[in-house]
Structure 1
C-alpha cells in the first residue's frame, strides 16, 4: 500500500470500518471518497487540468449511455472552440484587409 492510499484510509477510517484495507474495491471506494471531498481551487490551471483529467478518467470507466453523453459533451466543447477560433480568425482577417 502506498503512502497516498494509507493517508486515504486514515482519513476515512469511519467510513471503511470492517473493510479489508488491501481489498481493491475498498481502495477504489477510498479513492472515490477522496475525490468527492477534495476542495482544490478550480480557477487555477492545475485545478482545471485536474478536473479535465478526472472527467476523462470517469468517462473511461463509464459505459453505455454515460460514455456516449461524455463523448457528446467533449464534441460540443470542441465544436465551440473551433467555431470561436474560426470566428476570431475571420474577424482578424477582416481587420487586416481594411
Structure 2
C-alpha cells in the first residue's frame, strides 16, 4: 500500500492485527481478491484475473510454479499458432 493509505479490511475483518505487518497486508489483499464482485465477462475483469494469476504464480514454488509456467507456455504457444494460422490464411487469400 502506498503512503498513509489504510486498507479498510484491516478495520473490519482483521481487528487487532498489526496493520504494518507485511503478512497482514498480504492477507488483507487476499481477502479483497476473494470478495471482489465484478462481472467476469469484461476485458477489465479478465486482465485483473490474469494479473492475479501472475502475482500468485510468482509467489508459488516447486510443483505449483512448474504448473503455472507450463500453463503460460501453452497459452503463449496457442497464441503464436493462432497468429501464424491467421497470417498464412491472409497471405493465401491475398495470393488469390
TM range (shorter): 0.7 to 0.9
Call closer, same or farther: CA 1:44–1:2 in 2, change over 3 Å: farther
Q: How far off its partner does 1:20 sit?
A: 2.6
CA distance in 2, matches of 1:43, 1:4: 30
Are residues 1:10 and 2:8 paired? no
CA distance in 2, matches of 1:72, 1:32: 24
Partner of 2:41: 43
Q: String of CA shifts for 1:43-71, please: whole Å, max 9, x gaps.
A: 22222221111111111111111111111
**Root mean square deviation, CA, Å:** 1.8
Note the 1:73-84 alignment, pairs <5 A: 73-84=71-82
TM-score normalised per structure 1: 0.81
Name stretches of at least 5 consecutive residues in structure 2 with no aligned partner: none
